[in-house]
Amino acid sequence: MSLTLAPADWLSLLLHFMGLSLLAVGGAISVVPGMHRYLVLQQGWLTDSQFTSSVALAQIAPGPNVLFVVLMGWNVGVNAGGTHWALLGALLCLLGIVLPSSILTLFATRWAQRNQKHRGVRAFKQGMTPLVVALLISTAWLLITPSISSQTSWTFWLLGIVALLVLWRTRVHLLWVLAAGAVLGATGLV
């Protein structure tokens, strides 16, 4: 795919991601459908498979989940004809998704910090904590559902339980456990 993007298009890309930033309640992953509509359906700057691989590849790179927007911007730039455009796209998408919400967070939490003895502020902060724990468990569940089918071998569940116990009860570094998972997955054992 090759495109020509005018400066106004790059600006539009930035502004669109800035808007999504303020809608991303619950994290950047919750506005992925919005990005898909904009980049793939509306503008035609990415193919469907480029979009999907942008999200998937970011999962195996270290760093915040939101890095998948870097790959979206990168691929838009690649389609527009070169590495320098790719870098521009990557930076614009990252800045767009990070900047507005960060500024909001800065001021909102300063306000909350000043009013932290206020019963409403404490009720809000503590009231959300059971949900945070439940959302973690939900996320873990949602992450493994694509891998679960009638053909899922017992070794898959065994690895899951062993990984859980190792990470919960020992101080073994995460990278070793990840490496073990990668090797077992690559050799087709799980």
Q: For residue 73, give the amino acid letter.
A: G
- Residue 149 sits in the site that holds other proteins (CB under 8 A): no
Q: Which CB sits closer to other proteins, 5 or 90?
A: 90
Q: Please give the Cα distance from 21 to 100 (Å, whole number).
A: 6
Virtual torsion, Cα 95, 92, 86, 5, nearest 10 deg: 170
Contacts to other proteins from residues 93-122, by CB under 8 A? 94, 97-98, 100-102, 104-106, 108-110, 112-113, 116-117, 119-120, 122
Options 9-17, 18-26, 40-48: segment touching other proteins (CB under 8 A): 18-26
- Residue 172 sits in the site that holds other proteins (CB under 8 A): no
Choice from 1, 15, 22, 172 touching other proteins (CB under 8 A): 22
Choice from 2, 4, 7, 63 touching other proteins (CB under 8 A): 63
Q: Please give the Cα distance from 32 to 28 (Å, whole number).
A: 7
For tokens 């910090």, what's the residue? 113
**CB 99, CB 24: distance < 8 Å:** no
For tokens 């539009």, what's the residue? 12
Q: Which CB sits closer to other proteins, 13 or 24?
A: 24
HSE-CB at 32 with a 13 A cutoff on CA atoms is: 19
- Residue 175 sits in the site that holds other proteins (CB under 8 A): yes
- Residue 30 sits in the site that holds other proteins (CB under 8 A): yes
